[in-house]
Structure 1
């Protein structure tokens, strides 16, 4: 497990600002294959219940629920950017869009684990399973040589 880190972040237009404590730092980043995450395409990190504080724009956040309606996804009503969601498989965790974090880009991570959300543990009763790995190889980088710096933001 990584060390917890505190970051600030915002939606694209800046109407929503928040502070978050990522429980495992960037060790818990992931993507998901469920229908919603596939379309959204976000890389997320995990925060425990109470780990997100909305600093500005709480009234601008809108919510979306689908399928079992247990996960609650939050978006800025002005610019449409997904900021975070309360997880379905563990209601004590929030997934936070790392692209909204100040100074962080999803392209900072050379490898991002992808979990099998199509066969969600809450539907199958089986443990969560890794579906694969999403890799980002910078232009000019040898794909067979590891990156020169460790994964994660600077």
Structure 2
């Protein structure tokens, strides 16, 4: 399935391909505050529709995850990193996707605060 997503103001927009079988809610210091629900996809399934430089980047802690956010509206629609096997992955904030009924998505809690 193909999904379209964006930040609130539309400066960052993208398409992503895949099946949302669930989302991850993390309690690390940033995810807890943002309330993101994350869906992880291989990087090649994610396609920016706007220039890459439309998004700013924030990293913290180990500086391995590039949290991409809009400098205008502040939304963080996606992040970039690698999975434990070294594969390039994109974490999509499913709250930024069009037409997704969040009530139907099973959510797994992750203790990122202890990681």
TM-score range, shorter chain: 0.7 to 0.9
| Bigger RCO of structures 1 and 2 (CA < 8 A, at least 6 apart) | 2
**TM-score, normalised to structure 1's length?**
0.66
Spell out the pairing of 1:128-143 with structure 2 (5 A cutoff).
none
Distance 2:43 2:107 in 1: 23
Spell out the pairing of 1:63-74 with structure 2 (5 A cutoff).
63-74=57-68
Provide structure 2 residue ranges, at least 5 long, that are not aligned to the other structure: none
2:95 alignment partner in structure 1: 99
1:145 alignment partner in structure 2: none
Give the RMSD, CA atoms, in angstroms. 1.8
SS in 2 for 1:15: coil
Structure 2 residue 48 is the aligned partner of structure 1 residue 54: yes
Provide structure 1 residue ranges, at least 5 long, that are not aligned to the other structure: 121-154
SS in 2 for 1:12: coil
- Contact 1:74–1:83 (8 Å) recurs in 2: yes
**TM-score, normalised to structure 2's length?**
0.86
